[in-house]
């Protein structure tokens, strides 16, 4: 019935842990990006200096939001993998328990 297909819950758990670490790293990057501040006069006397600053600030805010979204996506995926691994473990446990009560 399985045709040689076998899930290894511990492999799912290991990958989930890697995704959690990646999520934490993205949050560190986000914190570093968030601490970068450019003064509003950074573009000096360039034509439309205020417009350049506004555009920069919009991109900066979008980068922070993208980091937040990515971190959340990685955590959600890690949680899903952990839940899937637990489901497989529970099914294996139930199958073994059921087989034990079947008379030989």
Domains of the chain: 9-101 (1.10.287)
Tokens representing 62 are: 């979008």
Q: Report whether pLDDT(1) > 60.
A: no
Whole-number pLDDT of residue 62:
98
The sign one gets for the Cα dihedral 31, 32, 35, 38 is negative
Can you tell me the mean pLDDT for 79-101? 88
**Exposure of 71 in the CB half-sphere (CA atoms within 13 A):** 16
CB-based contact 15:84 (threshold 8 Å): no
Q: Contact at 8 Å (CB) between 17 and 74?
A: no
Whether the pTM exceeds 0.75: the reply is yes
Q: What is the mean pLDDT of residues 9-35?
A: 98
CA distance 62 to 60: 5
* Mean pLDDT, rounded, for 61-90: 97
At 27, is the pLDDT very low, low, confident or very high (cuts 50, 70, 90)?
Answer: very high
CA–CA distance, 70 with 23 (Å, rounded to integer): 7
Instruction: State residue 2's pLDDT score.
Output: 59
Across the chain, mean pLDDT equals 92
Q: Which residue has 């600030």 as its token pair?
A: 57
Question: Over 60: is that where the pLDDT of 12 sits?
Answer: yes
Segment 38-72, tens digit of pLDDT: 999 999 988 899 999 999 999 999 999 999 999 99
């Amino acid at each position: 019935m399985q045709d040689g297909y076998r899930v290894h819950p511990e492999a799912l758990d290991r990958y989930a842990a890697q995704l959690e670490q990646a999520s934490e790293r993205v949050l560190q990057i986000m914190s570093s990006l968030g601490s970068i501040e450019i003064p509003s006069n950074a573009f000096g006397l360039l034509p439309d200096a205020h417009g350049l600053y506004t555009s920069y600030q919009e991109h900066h805010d979008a980068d922070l939001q993208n980091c937040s979204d990515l971190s959340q996506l990685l955590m959600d995926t890690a949680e899903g993998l952990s839940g899937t691994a637990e489901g497989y473990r529970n099914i294996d446990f139930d199958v073994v328990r059921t087989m034990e009560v079947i008379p030989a």
